[in-house]
Amino acid sequence: NAGVTQTPKFQVLKTGQSMTLQCAQDMNHEYMSWYRQDPGMGLRLIHYSVGAGITDQGEVPNGYNVSRSTTEDFPLRLLSAAPSQTSVYFCASSIQGGTYEQYFGPGTRLTVT
């Protein structure tokens, strides 16, 4: 199993550009989520999904969109990039319920200039 994969690993955007961060998992997990990691702030939840077709907002959703058309994929879209979105983004997945253990991808480092 590849686990949770994320692409790209690095990305540089100009202010106002849009892009999609890809996340996929091959563990048949119902729950998937996106976090952003900023120095001194830990990880903060952006959006999450409890299954295909169902998404909801987390703690810091502004400027981001998500969709979940399949169990495997959960892309994160930046609509109009801003320097405040410079961060490291992590995707995670888990089974719904159980012990709530989440499996993390390797991250995408995004810089917005």
Partner 1 sequence: AQSVTQLGSHVSVSEGALVLLRCNYSSSVPPYLFWYVQYPNQGLQLLLKYTSAATLVKGINGFEAEFKKSETSFHLTKPSAHMSDAAEYFCAVTGKGGGGNKLTFGTGTQLKVEL
* Interface with partner 1 (CB under 8 A): 4, 31, 33, 35, 40-45, 48, 50, 58, 90, 92, 94, 96-97, 99-107
Closest CB 63 distance from partner 1, rounded Å: 20
Establish whether the linkage from the previous residue to 83 is cis, with ω within 30° of 0.
no
Instruction: Please enumerate in sequence order all residues whose Cβ is within 8 A of that of 42, keeping only pairs 6 or more positions apart, or say none.
Output: none
Determine phi and psi for 60, rounding to 5 degrees: -130, 65
Give me the least distance between CB of 85 and partner 1, in Å please: 19
Shorter beta-carbon distance to partner 1: residue 14 or 40: 40
At its nearest, how many Å lie between partner 1 and the CB of residue 60? 12
Residue placing its CB nearer to partner 1 in the complex, 43 or 82: 43
Q: Please identify, using beta-carbon distances, which residue of 58 and 75 lies nearer to partner 1.
A: 58
Contact indicator for 13, 38 with CB cutoff of 8 Å: no
CB of 80 to partner 1, least distance (A): 27
Tokens of 45: 């939840």
CB atoms within 10 A of CB 13: 19
| Coil, helix or strand at residue 47 | strand
